[in-house]
Amino acid sequence: MTVSAQWRTGVEMEAMTGVAIGLLALYDMCKALDRGMALGPVCLLEKHGGRSGTWTASYDGCPLR
**Residue 13, H or E segment:** helix 12-30
From 2, 6, 8, 28, the catalytic residue: 28
**Distance (Å, whole) CA 28 – CA 3:** 25
C-alpha distance across the termini of the chain, in Å = 15
Q: Is 60 a catalytic residue?
A: no
pLDDT digits (tens, 9 = 90+) for 2-56: 767 666 666 788 888 889 999 999 999 999 999 899 888 888 888 887 777 888 8
The amino acid that residue 11 corresponds to is V
Tell me the whole-structure pTM to 2 decimals.
0.69
